[in-house]
Structure 1
Amino acid sequence: MHEPPLDPAEQPTDAEPALRPLAAGAPVRPADAYAYPPGGPWLRANMIASADGAAARDDRSGGLGNETDRRLLSLLRGLADVVIVGAGTVRAEGYGPVAPGPGGWEKLRAGRSPVPPLAIVSHRLDLDLDAPVFTEADPRARTIVLTTRTAPPGRVRAAAERAEVIVAGEDRLDFAAAVAELMARGHERMLCEGGPRVLAQVVAAGVLDELCLTVSPMLLAGGAVRILNGPAVPVPPRLRLAAAYRDDEDYLFLRYVRR
């Protein structure tokens, strides 16, 4: 059954994803639908998986997405104070500094820096410190590195010349402490883009408030990892489905929040 088109006055802007609720209801304004809850810190993750659970295609999550998913990714970044990502994902996906979406983020980021900083999780600091993700970052959104006390001291000093360094934990990153340090710097609306190893650690630390999951209508099989790649969580957190949307290409966009 085909749904009627949205009224022109209710269409998303060119920079926003065109989303419809699964059930009958008012058209979706994405910036409102994905707004952070008021009154305190909130850590959300944004991930994508195929219909059979693969978190990557050809070793890249971007191989699963479409234009709607890319626009939603941009919107979620624009809403966030900081974007947390693992060093492996930075390398695999070719990350640079966060850039505004096609329509700009002036309204989304009123009173804040034009873009959110990246916070890169790296235990060994095996990073290319001359890469654009460091050298081309906006001075008002300097790249952050989250690392541990056992990181090589020379690499810590070198990283501090290119980025703000936050040390949390001994030989593994203490995500609860890292989140507290980000909050102390005013980054209360946090977005984690993984990858799967980082997200598994975030969940294990008990600091995830929300999961935004895009379900791609692809079947991949093979040995691709899931959106969490780590040891089993002893007490799996229970989530509540807060919203579900779709686009015209049969992608699903789900929002889960902690109970």
Structure 2
Amino acid sequence: MAGTGAGSAEGGGEEVSEGVASGPGARGGAVGVPGGDLVDREWSLDELAAAYAYPEPEPGTGGPQPWLRANMVSTLDGAAQHDGRSQPISTAADMRIFGTLRALADVVVVGAETVRQEGYRPARARAEFAEAREAAGQGPAPAIAVVSASLDLDYGLPLFTSPSVPTLVLTGAAAAPDRIAAAEKAGAQVVIAGDGVGVDPVRAVQALAELGHTRLLTEGGPRLLGQLVAAGVLDELCLTISPMLTAGDAQRIAGGPSVAVPKRFELVSLLEEEGFLFGRYRRT
């Protein structure tokens, strides 16, 4: 296994020859040892949490500012899904990072269609991160925030019947009152984040921040991510490149209308395991 990247190694603080070289997951990663040799080992959850930590507040900003990161996976030929789901193109290391990113977040923002297709469940409290979350002033698990204009949701799902923290539903002010009432009756907290039927991405970020959720994570799907990109509210992209080819007409990681000028992001770190690449990019 090998890895490359720019700058010094984030997470374990161990610098290796030829830039960053590390592996995040199930089998291990190449890390530096005296003499310049590389040794395969698994990154600890603490190291991953440090590597993917949210930025510290800038001095003079008056406290934490909202930071929205996305976590997505794509095949070599650009498919974000196979048979409508992301799991077939993922790997154990990808899921390890997936769990770490959730454990660092205040809230996970997800589109209603992704909730349906992926069979979303509530985020679970993980003992490994309990102390760190408490020290950061976070609850035991992140809330899930579902973005839906129609509020056509199955309130019999565990996401609504048995969450460890109440599920949020983001919608517009013009959403049908009876569907808002149904969501609230199911125990969801409805958050208005738009003047029309749909959700305004800028308003959504602001509304979540007002609820105390400044460490934001979105897991898509492609339509929602495209809206966030177009609105200019995405700060960071954590992208897994899966060494697979699927062909077909699967969606890319971001859909919808193209932006007038491509958004430029810079590479922060790049990890590798068994051909899977785990890139972290921030907007410039």
TM-score by length of 2: 0.81
Give the secondary-structure state (helix, strand or coil) at the position aligned to 1:119.
strand
Count of residue correspondences: 246
Residues 172-226 of structure 1, C-alpha deviations (whole Å, 9 max, x = no match): 2101011101001110000000000000001111100000000000011110110
Alignment of 1:99-118 (within 5 A): 99-101=124-126, 104-110=128-134, 111-118=137-144
Which residue of structure 1 aligns with residue 116 of structure 2?
A: 91
Which residue of structure 1 aligns with residue 105 of structure 2?
A: 80
The 2-side partners of 1:217 and 1:209 are apart by 26
Kept after mapping to 1: 8 A contact 2:145/2:169: yes
Which residue of structure 2 aligns with residue 232 of structure 1?
A: 258
Which residue of structure 2 aligns with residue 160 of structure 1?
A: 184
Which residue of structure 2 aligns with residue 35 of structure 1?
A: 53
Deviation at 1:229, TM superposition (A): 1.0
Which residue of structure 2 aligns with residue 55 of structure 1?
A: 80
Aligned counterpart in structure 1 of residue 170 of structure 2, from 120, 127, 146: 146
Kept after mapping to 2: 8 A contact 1:74/1:100: no
The one-letter code sitting in structure 1 at the alignment partner of 2:142 is P
RMSD (Å) for aligned C-alpha atoms = 2.5
Kept after mapping to 2: 8 A contact 1:16/1:75: no
Alignment CA distance shift 1:231-1:115 (3 Å):
same
2:241 is the alignment partner of 1:223: no
Deviation at 1:130, TM superposition (A): 2.1
Alignment of 1:120-139 (within 5 A): 120-138=146-164
Deviation at 1:235, TM superposition (A): 2.0
Deviation at 1:258, TM superposition (A): 0.4
Deviation at 1:19, TM superposition (A): 4.6
Deviation at 1:100, TM superposition (A): 3.5
Kept after mapping to 2: 8 A contact 1:19/1:30: no
Which residue of structure 2 aligns with residue 208 of structure 1?
A: 234
Give the secondary-structure state (helix, strand or coil) at the position aligned to 2:68.
strand
Give the secondary-structure state (helix, strand or coil) at the position aligned to 1:145.
strand
The 2-side partners of 1:242 and 1:214 are apart by 14
Which residue of structure 1 aligns with residue 70 of structure 2?
A: 45
Residues 55-98 of structure 1, C-alpha deviations (whole Å, 9 max, x = no match): 00111011110100011100000000000001111111111100
The 2-side partners of 1:236 and 1:256 are apart by 15
Percent identity reads 48
Structure of higher CA gyration radius: 2
Q: Is 204-213 or 106-115 further displaced after alignment?
A: 106-115
Unaligned runs of 5+ in 2: 4-13, 15-21, 58-64
Alignment CA distance shift 1:126-1:20 (3 Å):
farther
Kept after mapping to 2: 8 A contact 1:16/1:72: no
Deviation at 1:135, TM superposition (A): 1.0
TM-score by length of 1: 0.88
Kept after mapping to 1: 8 A contact 2:2/2:29: no
Deviation at 1:150, TM superposition (A): 2.4
Question: 4+ runs of 1 displaced by more than 3 Å?
Answer: 14-21, 24-28
The one-letter code sitting in structure 2 at the alignment partner of 1:234 is A
